[in-house]
Amino acid sequence: MKDIMLRIIGRQIDRNDEVADETIEFMTEGKAYRKGDSTYIVYEESEMSGMQGVKTTLRIDRDGSVRMKRFGSGVMLDTVMEFHQGKRFNSLYETPFGVFEMEVLTNSVVNDLEPEKITGNLFIDYEIALKGLSETRSLLNIEVSDISGQPSAENQACPN
């Protein structure tokens, strides 16, 4: 298992394809490893993301699909989201207002992670619909770097 630094940038896109005000950006340390044909990235969510006490695991498969699982003391219900370009995924999503049916449509997944070093970028463009609550388009960019030579940052916000 390898120590890594993650810079995670999540953006919401409005109906006019413009970036809305809901941009979340933070840095955190995590772990990365390879198992079979998959790359795994594991990190703790922060207070900034609204999910303190939650651990996120990303499984990036050779076929270009990404599976995100969130679990821990910060959620009652584990959340799973799968991203595979052009495909829909249905699951349940927990909010402060209750549990809702969720549908994810992945527009694109760009995996520029270097397989052996597990550094680079992972970009996901997807639409998410929470039945009866909201529909949004989101852009998720995860920059992964080797922790050696990096200043220690435990869930610190990135400067704008």
**Higher confidence at residue 97 or residue 160?**
97
- 64-113 confidence digits (pLDDT tens): 899 999 888 766 667 899 999 999 999 988 766 778 889 999 999 999 99
Computed over every residue of the chain, the mean pLDDT equals 83
Q: Does 7 score more than 50 pLDDT?
A: yes
- pLDDT band for position 46 (cuts 50, 70, 90): low
As given in the structure block, the two tokens for residue 130 are 């929470």
Element of type H or E holding 94: strand 88-95
* pLDDT at residue 115 in the model: 83
Average pLDDT over residues 109-134: 90
Cβ–Cβ under 8 Å, residues 101 and 78: no
Domains of the chain are 2-157 (2.40.128.20)
Average pLDDT over residues 143-151: 76
Q: Does 132 score more than 70 pLDDT?
A: no
**What is the C-alpha separation between 67 and 69, in angstroms, rounded?**
7
As given in the structure block, the two tokens for residue 45 are 């969510």
